[in-house]
Amino acid sequence: MPRPPRCLLALLLLLAPAAAAQEVPASPLAQEFPAWLESYRAAAEARGLRREWLDAALAGTGFQPRVVALDRNQPDEAGRRNVFADYLARQLTPERVARGTSMAAIHGTSLARATATSGVPAGILLGIWGMESSYGAVTGGFDIVSALASLAFDGRRAGLFTAELDAAVRMVGEGRAARQDMRGSWAGAMGQPQFLPSSYLRFAVDGDGDGRVDIWTSVPDTLASIGNYLKQNGWQPGLTWGVRTVVPPGFDRAQVANPDRPTSCIRPLERHSRFLPASEWRRLGFQPVGAPWPADTVEMSLVEPDGPGTAAFLTTRNYRAIMTYNCSNFYTLSVALLGDALSGPR
């Protein structure tokens, strides 16, 4: 939810339910889609995708105007005030925590195995699983190939979605997934971890040892794949994601401002200070809330998701690893705090 973040698109899915309920009129673009699909086939074959793969993956593919409408009608965050506390209240519900606790008990062996392999704590694995698909209960019902083809054809982000369509063709062509199983969100995210096709090819792994990588129905594969994703994107074993903190009265944030403007994930990372050792934050008067300090040498960045004077967190490099799943402070903090709730008091 990288490269593009796999994860960029999981956030779009969270924002879409109201639009999804609206009827979408027939689009005149549908008449142009077959010709585009033929041109895509020719270009994809030139890129090295086999003709038989394309035949298998593109069978039954059609233009989906509803998908294009959802993509074009994302809420404009610049026009309204989004408050982290409100978002967190919608995500960190008693029901989600209770179900996560139940899933932890049922799938304890798979969680332990995924943690041992990846170094990612069970709480974080559960946090992402819970946020992405409500522990496998909500995975989406769109035909992934048609959705990706429609978005690539629309052209607003043609490069991103053409690459994902190529990856979906490879998945089907190589026998990694049956064509009829390629279902998920309108934005192309699939299965219980909501991986884009490119992320499936790069990060999905076999967690139950049956020789298949099934992120749709296999919980062991789902948990192992989430762990592998974070491991490959910089998760450091034995390191927390961060802690809540209280900013000292009168603290001058200019002294910790990041002098380098981010070049990707720009708006969320603009809420981050530069990294300083935990010992320096302690010297500046910060104190963790409900958790101990990490080692003095651990680098931490101050994150205030709603800006100065609101909720504040000191976050480690592992927080940035979670952000590669979905480039959003709201999402990342919700995963981390859900993980804390499922792990018990620290």
Element (H, E) at 312: strand 312-315
For residue 302, list its beta bridge partners.
314
341's torsion region: left (phi>0), alpha (psi -120 to 50) or beta?
A: alpha
- Quick one: 8-75+140-203 is in which CATH superfamily? Bacterial muramidase (1.10.8.350)
In the chain, which residues have pLDDT < 50?
1-5, 7-26, 76-79
Contacts of 136 (CB under 8 A, 6+ apart): 129, 192, 219, 222
Cα gap 274→138, rounded to integer Å: 37
Rg for the chain, CA atoms, rounded: 21
Cβ atoms 332, 319 nearer than 8 A? yes
Tens of pLDDT, residue by residue over 42-87, are: 999 999 999 999 999 999 999 999 999 999 876 544 445 679 999 9
What is the SS3 assignment for 195-233? ECHHHHHHHCCCCCCCCCCCCCCCHHHHHHHHHHHHHHC
Identify the pLDDT of residue 310: 87
Long-range CB contact pairs, 272-277, < 8 A, 24+ = 272/301, 272/302, 272/303, 272/315, 273/301, 273/302, 273/303, 274/301, 275/299, 275/300, 275/301, 275/317, 276/300, 276/301
For residue 70, give the nearest of 24, 39, 119, 28 by alpha carbon.
Answer: 24
Helix axis angle, 33-46 to 158-173, nearest 10°: 70
For residue 312, list its beta bridge partners.
245
Residue 157 C-alpha from the chain's centroid = 18
Cα gap 88→335, rounded to integer Å: 10
So where are the chain's domains? 8-75+140-203, 242-315
- Token output for 205: 């792994």
Identify the pLDDT of residue 155: 87
CB atoms closer than 10 angstroms to residue 210: 11
For residue 12, give the nearest of 198, 186, 240, 157 by alpha carbon.
Answer: 186
